Structure 1
Amino acid sequence: MQKYPMTKEGEQALRDELQQLKSVERPKVIEAIAEAREHGDLKENAEYHAAREQQGFIEGRIQDIEGKLSNAQVIDITSIPHTGKVLFGTTVSIINCDTDEEVQYKIVGDDEADIKNNRISISSPIARALIGKEEGDIVVVQVPAGAVEYEIDQVQHV
């Protein structure tokens, strides 16, 4: 069975969501189904059908999270010695060699990726190009528009 890398923060976020779903959302939807059943005819009861649909979503998400957690390989970046190389969990500042635009990314697991918060997946083209490189290295990233050169400005083990 394949293991999927995940940061400690990502694991905790999934555990928190799972706890919320099991202890708050699931009982709430069960109560809504029971209340809708009391209204009589279930064939034409929109509240009942909406609650059942919500229950299906919640149960599916619970199974999804439990599956992800069981296959997760949690990596604690603080326990890895600082080598100056780009690794899973590190935060890296890169500069576009053509535009001098600087951007900072944290390399995380697939489920934790959030480009709006500068968290990129370990399987993304940028992360794959950066892994194993050091500060000062030039990396070429293949993007749909072609090749883009970046210089690694700084690597942080945060």
Structure 2
Amino acid sequence: MATHDNEMTREGYEALQKELDHLVTVTRKENAERLKEAISYGDISENSEYDAAKDAQAETEERITTIEAMLRTAKIADEDETPDEGVIATGRTVTLHDLIYDEEVTYKIVGNTEADPFNGKLSNASAVGQHLLGARAGDVLEFPVIDGTAKYKVLDVRK
């Protein structure tokens, strides 16, 4: 099952939109105030507050541009496009039995921008995520990973 370059869950899209709104309505104003205050200190050529305020402003603008591009090109994973509820797809939660380490793990398959494996969010474009897409409960998957071989039995797939 192929993924769209910028596929993400509805929750991921909404989180980015919320971050963008905050950056535009709150952080930009805070940066402008910091810059204004730093300028009031006088000579800006040797003003560390001014330099820090300019850096913060540049970082904010870069993040705004990045998020706008991600949202503009985003494809929200549509549950209706995957006909079978039991198929692993972006937006689904999957429980696996790791046959190498004999442990059970649960991940939500998400887009690249949402990935956070330590908190149970696995990218659909990661080495493991790509191999899971399209599998069903009961399937046993074995594939190469950076440090050897991964082997999983799919126990459950749910929305």
Report the TM range for the smaller structure's normalisation. over 0.9
> Does the 8 Å CA contact 2:85/2:158 hold for their aligned counterparts?
no
Range moving further from structure 2, 71-80 or 141-150? 71-80
Partner of 2:72: 70
Q: Within the alignment, does 1:58 sit opposite 2:60 as a pair?
A: yes
Q: Deviations over 1:132-153 (max 9, x none)?
A: 1111010013112211211000
Whole-angstrom CA distance in 1 between matches of 2:135 and 2:81: 19
Whole-angstrom CA distance in 1 between matches of 2:5 and 2:78: 15
Matches within 5 A, 1:7-156: 7-77=9-79, 80-156=82-158
What code does the residue aligned with 1:32 have? Answer: R
> Does the 8 Å CA contact 2:82/2:89 hold for their aligned counterparts?
no
Report SS of the residue matched to 1:98. coil
Q: CA deviation at 1:83?
A: 3.1
Q: CA deviation at 1:85?
A: 1.1
Whole-angstrom CA distance in 1 between matches of 2:115 and 2:49: 35
Q: CA deviation at 1:54?
A: 0.3
Gaps of 5+ in 2: none
Q: Deviations over 1:59-92 (max 9, x none)?
A: 0000000000001001233675443111111111
Q: What TM-score, normalized by structure 2, do the two folds share?
A: 0.92
Q: Pairwise CA RMSD of aligned residues?
A: 1.5
Report SS of the residue matched to 2:45. coil
Whole-angstrom CA distance in 2 between matches of 1:99 and 1:117: 19
Whole-angstrom CA distance in 2 between matches of 1:65 and 1:145: 33
Q: What TM-score, normalized by structure 1, do the two folds share?
A: 0.93
Whole-angstrom CA distance in 2 between matches of 1:144 and 1:3: 22
Whole-angstrom CA distance in 1 between matches of 2:131 and 2:47: 54
Gaps of 5+ in 1: none
